[in-house]
Structure 1
Amino acid sequence: MPTLRTALGRPTLIAFALIFALGAPDAEAQRNKRAAVPAVSPQCSDFYAATNADWLKQNPLPAGVGTVSVLGQFRDRTLQQQRQLLDAAMQSPQGNVQKLLGDFWASGLDEAAVEADGSRPIAPLLDRINAIKRAKDVAPAIAALHQVGIPVAFNFSPDVDLQHLDRHIGYFMQGGLGLPDPAYYTRTDADTRELLGRYRTYVKQVLALTGTPANKLDDESALVIDLETRLAQVSKPLLDLRSPFANYAAIPTKDLGKQYRNLQLDAFLKAQGVSDDTVSMADPELFKRLDELVAGLKPDQWKSYLRWRVGDAMAPYLAKPFRDAEFEFRGRVLRGEAAPAPRWQQVLDAINLAAGPMLGKEYAARYVPADHTRRAEQIAAQVRDALGRGIERNTWMSEVAKTEAKAKLDRLKIEVGTPKRDLDYSVQPMGRGSFGGNMLIASTWRHREEMKRIGKGNADRRWDVLPQQPALAYDIAQNRLIVTAAVLQEEIFNAKATQLPPAVLYGAYGALVGHELSRGFDGKGRMVDAKGQLRDWWTPADVAAWTALGGKVAAQYDGYAYPGLKSVNVNGKLTQDENLADLAGIELAWDAFTTAEPQADAAARQSFYQAWAGLWAQQVSETEAAQRAAVDVHAPGHWRANGPLVQQPAFAQAFACKAGQPMQAQEATQIRIWR
């Protein structure tokens, strides 16, 4: 849940070849023989370069910029659309939600008002904390801060019940630390000690801004670090929490009050509006320790910690002294940023964090006509049907697995634009006088709506992405395809350009849909069956066949040089899953296209593949490329475009490519998943 708080030797070789040819007795015959060999067309040599030549020429990489890409420009435009929507809502709101958003936006852009507001927005929270007198007062204060979206001491948020994927439960998890990794508090190397020193300086700054006298800053900051260190010492390493099962252990809620008397977890749940009979608590030892700390530490230590957590969480939305302190540590030190983002972008980020679903509702209404949504749903359904045909005809999947896959596909849902179930938009009026106050109002609302996801039958209440964020996603727990409103824009879904053939929609949007749908039936999708239960429905033979396919794709991409780097190739194993999904996406989209448009001419068929390759145009700096080569699970754009097409006979037919040319693998070695 969002809370307030990615050939020097070359000429010599040429010269040697020329000398060798000219000096041979049959040099003339050799020249004639070479002339008879037809040249490889640009499309059959490097389809990415041929398709994107104009874009690459017109979009050089500016100095100091890590990357420029088609999809990056696409994302930037969606931000500008949101900005334009909020400007209009500020000037002439249409309806209550736009009035809320317009006031929120105006209050954030009015920097003079933000400065005049100072720390007043958090004064009621600080008063609540300062009123703590005894140990029994600590737990209600913790619950109250969670209610406004400021998680302290621990994290609590909704997520799918791994034993019953049709419902969400609340997850009690470790948290409450000001540093992103518990190891920062316990490591003793010099770099970590230096970072901890800079962190303590930041803690002092925030404590001073929230009311700590200068002569008590050393003592209170030490108390904060001590409490967080105690939490870190009983927290698990981040690496151990990568699996969702590491955070899952379902327990009944009825005894929480007795088991954690000092934390008062029964009252905590009631304060969050949660009445479910089950929660997840995978680390009871952590919460046992927290329960002891509530009673064992002096209330003043808790007060210092809670004031610090409030000031830190709200610092980006308050007056300049708060913002400067927060950016200097979190922005410059932790994130490596040279300067803060423009003010409008900071305010937009804040609105998306606290009131994102509100903005998403208005974004979809403003920028995505109903006929675009219907067309997107239609194409997605056609790609789903193509997957059904692919399941039926593929030769690597067992009959047992095919039966389960078809049953799962029959139950797959497609949601386009916005979530099917809307939210309750009743919110306290915001006004334009206090950006920080509006942030708390909106965050309280969003927390309330998040908590409503907990309970039986609520698993599909909303998405884990916002409609205004460009995203296609397969929700493995709910067996549904999610296509956000922001996706239905020019680069991916060019429905406005009526002069373009329908193939363009299938080649870009359809292939991305196929990419995502395939995830329900691959090496990870096999772990959830048609009934939505966690169960491996593949046979050992299916696993072996999929592993073999993955190995072939990994080997293919291992052979590709990483663009912009010397002597570095793509890591085929690291990018294997995404490359398999790209291959599946192209196969399924082509099937859907040719089934829907069987009379498509040669130009239309070519435009299908050009639309795919056009998605991936990018310019990347050497530094950025080196970082991506090491950690990015996606292949670089050059090979996302070309890699899947090498395996497609239909691509070779469309562009008259011959087997063995760079863009067409030999038939005997071609990799196929669903075709």
Structure 2
Amino acid sequence: MSTLRPLACALALSLIAGLASPAADAAKKKAAAKPKAPAAASACTDFYASANADWLRANPLSGAGSVSTLDQLAANARKQQLELLNSAMTSPQGNVQKLLGDFWASGLDEAAVERDGAQPIAPLLSRIGAIKKAKDIPASIAALHQVGIPVAFNFGADIDLQDLERHIGYFSQGGLGLPDPAYYTRSDNDTRQLLGHYNNYVQKILALTGTPKDKLAAESQQVIDLETRIARASKSLPDLRDPRANYARVSVADVGKQYKRLQLGDFLKAQGVSDDSVSLANPQLFAQLDNLVATLKPEQWKTYLRWRVGDAMAPYLAKPFRDAEFEFRGRVLRGQSAPPARQQAVLDAVTLAAGPMVGHEYAARYLPAATDKRAEQIADQVRDALSKSIDADSRFSDAVKNEARAKLAKLKIEVGTPKRDLDYTVQPMGRGSFGSNMLIASTWRHREEMKRIGRGNADRRWDVLPQEPSLAYDIAQNRLIVTAAMLQAPVLDLSKPEAAQYGSYGALVGAELTHGFDNRGRYVNAKQEVRDWWTPNEIAAWEALGSRVAAQYSAEAYPGLSGTKVNGSQVRDVAIADQAGLEIAWNAYRSAAPSAGKDANQAFFRAWAGLWAQHLSPEVAAQRSAAGIHAPGQWRTNVPLSNLAAFGEAFGCKAGTAMQRKADQQIKIFP
């Protein structure tokens, strides 16, 4: 599909006009005049292009699908992690760095990984090989879960939907080698072809874990047969999307009695869980598993368990394991043409098994105390500004305002790292075996995950790592989470003017905090109970506001796509938060610096624009246009600013221009 460039179109129209004019013949005798270059973007015509002009010129796509300032922030955080791990490898500071340095070094030593072969999983395979009777199977299942290899089902900690102050253990479906249970039962050609690739992969892993060649086909079929039985009792992927439909609190005592052959009571003890309740929302699946323990021959279970160990550990073992895993999971399932570079693969492994350890050291190394303190200070000021905005909001009734005030008073702000740290007591790793270190670290992380289960443990840690750039509102815990990696340019740069810190970081904080009081936050009250605390009046006012916001975005063309508009309804909720965040951060900034001049005020808005600079390929733009909930950077910058009278005043934009809507057309989230 070809697209006509706007400049080429304008030139074509000007030539047609010239040929139709009486002076056309005379013009032929003169040298052709050069067409005028399009006017450069100004603050009042396209603030995004004006404010980001230098960045946009300096950062072309260069073959990538997208490039943005926030992409660069994430890339810098990865670079910092590599620096940290390399430093820990050569000159560790403290026990945690010693563990990480040894883990990292063992992964980079490919020769040692090749010499190690399948030795790291030999103890696990020996345990599986010792299974004699049906009663031996559940203990092996529990032992594999302990080392971070979930088999037969999944078990993890998550919020108790009846009590948001605690985590409970969730028994849920899992234990399959394919990502969708439907793959095991569909009969279309594509699925049959996929199953053929899968069968080949299973055979490769079984061969590497001890199956003789003449038994590979039979044992592979045993694995697929057992997984198919599990898949038939599993829910479809769409059915897993509703958390409420996949939550059912039951007593631990009842679970132990109901699934005796699966020995779930003993399973919980093995994981170190002593809580009195768990969630088990698919009793049919666990009844099936309970039955399969008794009815299938132990040899079939042993083959399945051996396969699951080999599959789970394949990326961390010798090349034959890695090649087999990539051929199926990388090339067939993910469509990748080549495996990641060794350094990236090891970083991914360390993050998976020991991510919180890296986060602990990352914050200590890359988050200066001054930045941490400033981030908390601005977040507190933005929270105060939000409180004043809610008080002045005419859409909220007194009862709803009281609930919002109570919720805001209890809101927690956690910056850098989680407030409750982990226990870093871990078995020494050494540098001899990457696969063994992977199991040691996975066992540690599983142990710490299990500690989240129980009353008072819901805020034990975050669901994002400190070394991953993130700034988000945790609706269940009524807290703002700002990771250490987020607190650097372009989000929070202490070398920038004070105003810029509010325009970037402060506005993002404001946007996220509003989620506690919008059409999502309305479902959790100040007591962290799941209850809608809005009245029909608030709901109607919100929908009317949302429709106006959606209409503004729907009027804008999607950059880089011919004939495509932004889907306003799709980006509406994030757009409302962006607008609110800017309003609140501006108020916080003006309260902190009431005498700030024009230059400082302009710096506030330039910092906002700097967050969203981006280039997208047509393919990526089309994907985001179809499904993305974020507006493209140009409109994420310009649309909310065009609604702010303060922006027009700062840059002298007249009402009715592109960047300053007329007063009656401006939208304010907090009037």
Short-chain TM bin: over 0.9
Partner of 2:559: 563
2:643 to 622, 643, 647: 647
Counterpart Cα distance in 2 of 1:472 and 1:614 = 17
Q: What aligned pairs does 1:416-495 form with structure 2 within 5 A after superposition? A: 416-495=415-494
- Secondary structure of residue in 2 paired with 1:68: strand
Q: State which drifts further: 483-492 or 407-416.
A: 483-492
The one-letter code of the counterpart of 1:616 is W
Residue 519 (structure 1) shift: 0.6
The one-letter code of the counterpart of 2:67 is V
Residue 561 (structure 1) shift: 1.3
Contact 1:387 1:674 (8 Å CA) reproduced: no
Residue 418 (structure 1) shift: 0.6
Counterpart Cα distance in 2 of 1:22 and 1:518 = 61
Contact 1:507 1:586 (8 Å CA) reproduced: yes
Counterpart Cα distance in 2 of 1:448 and 1:376 = 32
Counterpart Cα distance in 1 of 2:443 and 2:607 = 43
The one-letter code of the counterpart of 1:379 is I
The one-letter code of the counterpart of 1:44 is C
Counterpart Cα distance in 2 of 1:337 and 1:560 = 35
Residue 22 (structure 1) shift: 8.5
TM-score, normalised to structure 2, is 0.95
The one-letter code of the counterpart of 2:181 is P
Counterpart Cα distance in 1 of 2:17 and 2:550 = 34
The one-letter code of the counterpart of 1:354 is A
- Secondary structure of residue in 2 paired with 1:607: helix
In structure 2, the CA distance between the partners of 1:309 and 1:425, relative to structure 1 (3 Å rule), is same
Q: Are residues 1:61 and 2:57 paired?
A: no
Q: What aligned pairs does 1:78-97 form with structure 2 within 5 A after superposition? A: 78-97=77-96
Q: State which drifts further: 605-614 or 237-246.
A: 237-246
Partner of 1:625: 621
Partner of 2:197: 198
- Secondary structure of residue in 2 paired with 1:573: helix
Counterpart Cα distance in 2 of 1:200 and 1:632 = 36
Contact 2:149 2:312 (8 Å CA) reproduced: yes
Partner of 1:33: none
Residue 41 (structure 1) shift: 6.4
Counterpart Cα distance in 1 of 2:419 and 2:374 = 17
The one-letter code of the counterpart of 2:515 is R
Counterpart Cα distance in 2 of 1:637 and 1:309 = 43
Q: Which deviations, in whole Å up to 9, do the C-alpha atoms of 1:272-291 show, x marking residues without a partner?
A: 00010010011111111111
Partner of 2:137: 138
1:572 to 545, 568, 573: 568
Counterpart Cα distance in 2 of 1:562 and 1:183 = 36
Residue 85 (structure 1) shift: 0.7
Contact 2:273 2:453 (8 Å CA) reproduced: yes
2:527 to 522, 525, 531: 531
Partner of 1:507: 503
Contact 1:40 1:661 (8 Å CA) reproduced: no
Counterpart Cα distance in 2 of 1:19 and 1:502 = 56
Contact 1:166 1:459 (8 Å CA) reproduced: yes
Residue 674 (structure 1) shift: 2.2
Counterpart Cα distance in 1 of 2:118 and 2:290 = 31
Pairwise CA RMSD of aligned residues?
Answer: 1.5
Counterpart Cα distance in 2 of 1:203 and 1:636 = 43
Contact 2:510 2:580 (8 Å CA) reproduced: yes
Partner of 2:261: 262
Counterpart Cα distance in 2 of 1:17 and 1:582 = 43
Counterpart Cα distance in 2 of 1:534 and 1:103 = 45
TM-score, normalised to structure 1, is 0.94
- Secondary structure of residue in 2 paired with 1:353: helix
Contact 2:413 2:481 (8 Å CA) reproduced: yes
Partner of 2:28: none
Partner of 1:4: none
Residue 373 (structure 1) shift: 0.6
Residue 643 (structure 1) shift: 2.0
Counterpart Cα distance in 1 of 2:420 and 2:197 = 45
Q: State which drifts further: 464-473 or 237-246.
A: 237-246
Q: State which drifts further: 131-140 or 95-104.
A: 131-140
Residue 639 (structure 1) shift: 1.5
Contact 1:138 1:299 (8 Å CA) reproduced: yes
Q: Which deviations, in whole Å up to 9, do the C-alpha atoms of 1:131-167 show, x marking residues without a partner?
A: 1111111111110010001111111000011111000
Contact 1:224 1:304 (8 Å CA) reproduced: yes
Partner of 1:359: 358
**Consecutive unaligned residues in structure 1, runs of 5 or more:** 1-6, 24-38
The one-letter code of the counterpart of 1:86 is L
- Secondary structure of residue in 1 paired with 2:568: coil
The one-letter code of the counterpart of 2:228 is T
The one-letter code of the counterpart of 2:129 is N
Identity, in percent, stands at 65
Counterpart Cα distance in 1 of 2:104 and 2:11 = 61
Counterpart Cα distance in 2 of 1:364 and 1:137 = 44
Residue 19 (structure 1) shift: 8.2
2:539 to 508, 518, 543: 543
Counterpart Cα distance in 1 of 2:107 and 2:546 = 49
Contact 1:652 1:658 (8 Å CA) reproduced: yes
Counterpart Cα distance in 1 of 2:662 and 2:15 = 32
Q: Which deviations, in whole Å up to 9, do the C-alpha atoms of 1:59-111 show, x marking residues without a partner?
A: 11112x21111111111111111111111111111110010000000000000
Counterpart Cα distance in 2 of 1:55 and 1:360 = 30
Counterpart Cα distance in 2 of 1:22 and 1:427 = 88
- Secondary structure of residue in 1 paired with 2:464: coil
- Secondary structure of residue in 1 paired with 2:322: helix
Counterpart Cα distance in 1 of 2:437 and 2:55 = 42
Q: Are residues 1:672 and 2:671 paired?
A: no
The one-letter code of the counterpart of 1:479 is N
Residue 661 (structure 1) shift: 1.3
Counterpart Cα distance in 1 of 2:457 and 2:572 = 34
Contact 2:41 2:49 (8 Å CA) reproduced: no
The one-letter code of the counterpart of 1:660 is G
Residue 388 (structure 1) shift: 0.3
Residue 365 (structure 1) shift: 0.5
Partner of 1:328: 327
Q: State which drifts further: 528-537 or 486-495.
A: 486-495
Counterpart Cα distance in 2 of 1:663 and 1:527 = 35
Q: What aligned pairs does 1:102-141 form with structure 2 within 5 A after superposition? A: 102-141=101-140
Partner of 1:216: 215
Counterpart Cα distance in 2 of 1:15 and 1:547 = 48
**Consecutive unaligned residues in structure 2, runs of 5 or more:** 24-38
Counterpart Cα distance in 1 of 2:17 and 2:601 = 40
Counterpart Cα distance in 2 of 1:627 and 1:183 = 25
Residue 557 (structure 1) shift: 1.3
- Secondary structure of residue in 2 paired with 1:478: coil
Q: Which deviations, in whole Å up to 9, do the C-alpha atoms of 1:433-487 show, x marking residues without a partner?
A: 0000000000000000000000011111000001111001111111000001111
- How many residue pairs get matched? 650
Q: Which deviations, in whole Å up to 9, do the C-alpha atoms of 1:200-248 show, x marking residues without a partner?
A: 1111111111111111110111111111111111111111111211221
The one-letter code of the counterpart of 1:60 is P
Residue 398 (structure 1) shift: 2.0
Q: State which drifts further: 478-487 or 565-574.
A: 565-574
Partner of 1:382: 381
Contact 1:359 1:468 (8 Å CA) reproduced: yes
- Secondary structure of residue in 1 paired with 2:143: helix
Q: What aligned pairs does 1:393-432 form with structure 2 within 5 A after superposition? A: 393-432=392-431
Contact 2:247 2:279 (8 Å CA) reproduced: yes
Contact 2:41 2:47 (8 Å CA) reproduced: no
Partner of 2:584: 588
Contact 2:403 2:526 (8 Å CA) reproduced: yes
Residue 541 (structure 1) shift: 0.7
Q: Are residues 1:167 and 2:166 paired?
A: yes
In structure 2, the CA distance between the partners of 1:20 and 1:579, relative to structure 1 (3 Å rule), is farther
The one-letter code of the counterpart of 2:560 is G
Contact 1:132 1:303 (8 Å CA) reproduced: yes
Contact 2:499 2:600 (8 Å CA) reproduced: yes
Counterpart Cα distance in 2 of 1:104 and 1:585 = 42
Residue 357 (structure 1) shift: 0.8
